Chains A and B, each alone.
Chain A
Amino acid sequence: MTKRIIAIPGETLFEGEEYIPGEGTEKRKEKIIALRYGLVENNKNLIRVIPVSGVYIPRSGNVVIGKVENVTMNGWVIDITTPEGAFLSLMEVPRYVNKDDLRGVLDIGDIVAVKIYSVNSRGIDLTTKLKGLGKLDKGIIMQINPNKVPRVIGKEGSMISLIKEETKCKIIVGQNGLIWINGDKIEDELYAKKAILYVTENAAMSGLTDEMKEWFDKNKGEIN
């Protein structure tokens, strides 16, 4: 892997007509200027800056994990660690909901896996009409830096499927940095947690999936 370029706000990344500014960059005359701090990605002359720090910014299509903050007349307000509150309408729950008994479906304090289907000026709209989403009533929750989520998932899910396989746990990684782990035994869950923490600590390492295979061979379910 080539050495990655680090972008500093205001820095000229590339010069020339052929480059197209992507996320986190801006075109001034013929220069591509970085607007954010992060790593530079050059995909066929489309320049992007991938942030390495900062808060989670919600995008439509993201699967996130949140906590029910409030129950209203026609849905639930869910805290997904964003400044904006997110709303899950009762139309977006794939089962019959009695309007008088919203709390019977999801109560305040419940943890849910949800998908963001739109982000607009009024707020964030959520849905659970997908396989695997909905209320999470078993297992453990852990929190990591949201910028490290791509590493935990890996290329096309390679990392997370490796962890799932090795620890025999069900895992949902929320893009907001919250991770739900559920296994048969609490030891399995803690082992998965330890593995994920190892990934986040070594997020910048290249060939991390191979490194994790070795890590699993070495640790063999050891949780301390």
Chain B
Amino acid sequence: MTEFKRPDGRKINELRKITAKVGVVPNADGSALFGFGDTIAIAAVYGPKKMHPQHSQNPEKGTLRCTYNMLSFSVTERIRPGPSRRSQEISKITEWALQPIVMIDDFPGNVVDVHINVIQANASTRCAGINAAAMALAHAGIPMKSMVTSVSIGKLDKQLVTDLIKEEEDWEEGEGPTDIPITLTDDGKITHIQLDGNIPMKQLMETFELAKEAGKQIHEAQVKALKEAIEKK
């Protein structure tokens, strides 16, 4: 097989340069910045605080509420600010990806708010958002069973690659692009997977291996950022 060439010259299983930082929003209870190359997301966590309006309080356990937002200047062509169908969907998906690990049962009637803002986008924004949110939740002192790492695995024609960029998302050769964002816990359990395109079952199993491999690198970066935040002080 001939060597597969990616538009930015990365190896097939190579991630973009990871930037991770904790405590970027001083007024939030916890915050973090996470970036894959040109994709940068900031997550801010507020709470646990009293759920408002009162009728959406859950007296049995706490609620996790995520808001994903792409800022108007984050892409090359200005997008209309405010909630859209896409951002609402990603908010919900982020919530589902984080819910299994966040131990929020001890805060009945309360809510933990996670606000994710994408300040610069070049594909994989939901993954960067989830990674940032996991760090911000830890930073806010919310009890968690594990951290999560999220990465998008793509299939370009027939080749699997890690961490897609915009150019690859619009792949036009052969079978075209398939984008599979996967979120994993520390011990390799899946909390979220999406699939946009088509892929044979055998290859899908291979994507998990790629995601686990990438997840280790992301986890390392997250842990490093969290540890540095204490050591620096």
Q: Which A residues have a C-beta under 8 Å from some C-beta of B?
A: 6, 8-11, 24, 26, 33, 35-39, 51-55, 83-84, 121, 147, 203-204
Partner of A121 from the list B108, B144, B147 (CB cut-off 8 Å) is B108
Contact: B226 with A55, CB < 8 Å? Answer: no
Shortest CB distance B142–A (Å): 7
Residues from chain B with a CB closer than 8 A to the CB of A6 are 226-227, 230-231
B residues contacting A by CB (< 8 A) are 29-30, 47-50, 101, 103, 107-110, 138-147, 185-186, 222-223, 226-227, 230-231, 233
Tell whether, in the assembled complex, residue A54 and residue B108 are in contact, meaning their CB atoms are under 8 Å apart. Answer: no
Q: How far is the CB of B115 from chain A (nearest CB, A)?
A: 16
Interface centre among B29, B48, B108 (most CB of A within 10 A): B48
Contact A35 B103 (CB under 8 A): yes
Q: A9-B146, A55-B29 are in contact. Are A83 and B108 (CB under 8 A)?
A: no
CB-CB under 8 A from B109, the residues of chain A are: 83-84
- Report the separation of the CA atoms of residues A55 and B103 in the bound assembly, to the nearest whole angstrom: 15
A interface SS class:
loop
For A37, give its contact among B139, B146, B186 (CB under 8 Å): B139
Q: What A residues does B222 contact at CB under 8 A?
A: 8
CB-contact partner of B233 in A24, A38, A204, under 8 A: A204
For residue B226, give the distance in angstroms from its CB to the closest CB of chain A: 5
Q: A8-B226, A53-B30 are in contact. Are A35 and B139 (CB under 8 A)?
A: no
Taking a contact as CB atoms under 8 Å apart, the answer to whether A83 and B49 are in contact is: yes
Q: When chains A and B are docked, how far (Å) is the Cα of A11 from the Cα of B147? A: 9
Seed contacts A24-B143, A38-B141, A204-B230; 13 additional CB < 8 Å A-B pairs: A6-B226, A6-B231, A8-B226, A9-B147, A10-B146, A10-B185, A11-B223, A37-B139, A39-B230, A55-B48, A83-B47, A83-B50, A121-B108
Residue of A nearest to B47 (CB): A55
A residues in contact with B223, CB < 8 Å: 8, 11
Task: Give 19 CB contacts A-B under 8 Å.
Answer: A6-B226, A6-B230, A8-B138, A8-B223, A9-B143, A9-B146, A10-B144, A11-B186, A35-B143, A35-B144, A35-B145, A36-B144, A37-B139, A37-B226, A38-B141, A55-B29, A55-B47, A83-B50, A204-B230
Query: Contacts of B142 on A, CB cut-off 8 Å?
Result: 36, 54
Knowing A9-B144, A10-B185, A24-B143 touch, does A83 contact B29 (C-beta < 8 A)? no
Instruction: Please name the 10 residue pairs, one residue from A and one from B, whose CB atoms are nearest each other, closest first.
Output: A54-B141, A10-B146, A9-B144, A37-B138, A83-B50, A204-B233, A35-B143, A10-B186, A51-B141, A83-B49
CA separation between A89 and B210, bound complex, in Å?
Answer: 60
Which residues from B are CB-within-8-Å of A9?
101, 138, 143-147
CB neighbours (8 Å) of A26 from chain B are: 145
> In the complex where A6-B231, A121-B108, A203-B233 touch, is A53 in contact with B140 (Cβ < 8 A)?
yes
Q: Which residues of A contact B145 (CB under 8 A)?
A: 9-10, 26, 33, 35
User: Roughly how many angstroms separate A55 CA and B227 CA in the complex, as a whole number?
Assistant: 19
Q: Please indicate which of the listed interface residues B145, B185, B186, B230 has the most CB atoms of chain A within 10 Å of its own CB.
A: B230
